[in-house]
Amino acid sequence: MRILRSVRHKSCADGSRMKEFLLSEPVTEDFFLFLRDFGRVERLANVGAGFYKFEKTDFFSIKGLAGDTTVEVRFRREVMDITVDFLYALFHFYRDGKPDIDTLKRREAGVERRVKECLYGK
């Protein structure tokens, strides 16, 4: 599964930047559960095929319904140019349910260092 392109964007009242991304295939419940390795995942199972929210502090949040071909992503605006590549990597390295966790964890650590430097100066 990969991100094809962004189809909608807006600036949000809380200062975040929202982008809706079109995916190469429908997003699955398994994908959202895989995201638990990288942040907090909330689930409302009785809404449609399942409504999911993923929150990665200081990076971004992802909202989606299982079975949809788009997801909404809210970026922390100040570090969006640093974190957006990691978003693409999450989808790319998921590899249809056989995720490359080691590569993603290495990237996550690298991006996290830069995010903290940018936001907190450390």
* Least spacing, CB of residue 50 vs another protein, in Å: 9
* Least spacing, CB of residue 98 vs another protein, in Å: 28
Q: Which is nearer to another protein, 21 or 115 (CB)?
A: 21
For residue 98, the SS3 value is coil
Nearest to residue 32, comparing CAs of 7, 4, 54, 5? Answer: 54
Q: Which amino acid appears at position 84 of this protein?
A: V
**Interaction site with another protein (CB under 8 A):** 13, 44, 47-48, 51, 53, 63, 65, 68, 72
The helix-helix angle for 101-120 and 80-92 (nearest 10°) equals: 170
Q: How far apart are CA 107 and CA 109, in angstroms?
A: 5
* Least spacing, CB of residue 9 vs another protein, in Å: 14
* Least spacing, CB of residue 96 vs another protein, in Å: 23
Q: How far apart are CA 95 and CA 31, in angstroms?
A: 10
Q: Which is nearer to another protein, 72 or 112 (CB)?
A: 72
Strand partners, 41: 54
Q: Which is nearer to another protein, 48 or 97 (CB)?
A: 48
Q: Which is nearer to another protein, 52 or 91 (CB)?
A: 52
